A = this chain, B = another copy of it.
Amino acid sequence: MLTVVSESRCFGGTQSVCSHASRATGSAMRFAVYVPPHHGTAALPVVYWLSGLTCTEENFIVKAGAQRVAAALGVALVVPDTSPRIELPGDRESYDFGVGAGFWLDATEPPWASHYRMETYVVDELPEVVADAFPIDTRRAAVMRHSMGGHGALSLALRHPERFRSVSAFAPIASTLRSPWGQKALRGYLGADERAWREHDVTVLLRERGWRGPPILVDQGMADPFLAEQLRPDLLREAARDAAVPLVLNEREGYDHSYYFIASFIEGHLRHHAAVLGVPA
């Protein structure tokens, strides 16, 4: 059962926020959907957006200016929340763990393991829910994300290439193993054994699994305050080269980590995905 929380006309299409009882997370989950103008019988391709730390389903849809481009291309957008919104001990003690920081993986440590199952949610459950309620063909899907988790869009795409035909990122964490944010999250959600962490590190996944899809598109602001300590695009470039995976890494002089940066370059990412998903340009 899907509840429509809000619905607004936007660029001739409809921007909705929905809520539903998720079986993956055992909680209510919210997500946003933008459906562009379309014919009644459409089965639209879809681009998922996975947000960064502290975000909800709302940040991207109000700040990125993506609907204009999605409307022009005839592509749907789906934006899940970044974590379950339930009360667990310690879940609000820091901005980078717990609420708003699900890191797009399935936790194995208690108490998180019962609810923080964001990988299963995004990969298995959400596409079904979306396909049931909207004129969207979730087999034609791409994924983009911002910042949080070397295992955000990049690792989900590398782990589930059957689900996502194309992938791109803004200011991604290249290696969770070598990022303080990532280390904290992996230890908390997966426990102390670092072998389990490797399954959620993009540089490891690139080297071990490769990527047969189209070039991975990444934009990185060179005035991003998290660049050197948390993000490390140099590690991403190195891993892609070792794995012979085509990577387009745009270094954007003067840009920071904000949505002003994302808005400036979102059009290129959406056009990249639309071309892969077979949308006439």
B221 contacts A261, C-beta separation under 8 Å: no
Within 8 A of B (CB), among A220-244: 221, 223
Q: Which residues of B contact A252 (CB under 8 A)?
A: 9
CA distance in complex: A221, B258 (Å): 30
Within 8 A of B (CB), among A182-227: 221, 223
A8 contacts B261, C-beta separation under 8 Å: yes
CA distance in complex: A223, B256 (Å): 37
* SS class, residues of chain A in contact with chain B: mixed
Q: Which residues of B contact A256 (CB under 8 A)?
A: 8-9
- Taken residue by residue from 1 to 42, chain A's Cβ proximity to chain B (1 for < 8 Å, 0 otherwise) reads as 000000011111001000000000000000000000000000
Partner-contacting stretch, out of A61-69, A94-102, A136-144:
A61-69
A266 to chain B, nearest CB (A): 10
A260 contacts B10, C-beta separation under 8 Å: yes
B67 contacts A15, C-beta separation under 8 Å: no
Q: Which residues of B contact A254 (CB under 8 A)?
A: 9
**Oligomer: number of copies:** 2
Most buried by B among A9, A11, A263: A9
Looking at chain A, what size class is its interface with the partner chain? Answer: 20 to 34
A9 contacts B223, C-beta separation under 8 Å: yes
CA distance in complex: A242, B221 (Å): 54
CA distance in complex: A254, B12 (Å): 9
A37 to chain B, nearest CB (A): 11
Within 8 A of B (CB), among A43-101: 62-63, 65, 67-68
Q: Which residues of B contact A10 (CB under 8 A)?
A: 260-261, 263-264
- Taken residue by residue from 260 to 278, chain A's Cβ proximity to chain B (1 for < 8 Å, 0 otherwise) reads as 1101100000000000000
Is there a chain B Cβ closer than 8 Å to A259's Cβ?
A: yes
CA distance in complex: A63, B264 (Å): 13
A residues whose Cβ falls under 8 Å from a Cβ of B = 8-12, 15, 62-63, 65, 67-68, 221, 223, 252, 254-256, 258-261, 263-264
A-B contact pairs, 16 of them (CB 8 A): A8-B258, A8-B260, A8-B261, A9-B252, A9-B255, A10-B260, A10-B261, A10-B263, A10-B264, A12-B264, A62-B259, A63-B63, A65-B65, A67-B260, A67-B263, A68-B263
List 10 additional A-B contacts (Cβ < 8 Å) besides A8-B256, A65-B65, A68-B264: A9-B254, A9-B255, A10-B260, A10-B261, A10-B263, A11-B263, A11-B264, A15-B260, A62-B63, A65-B263
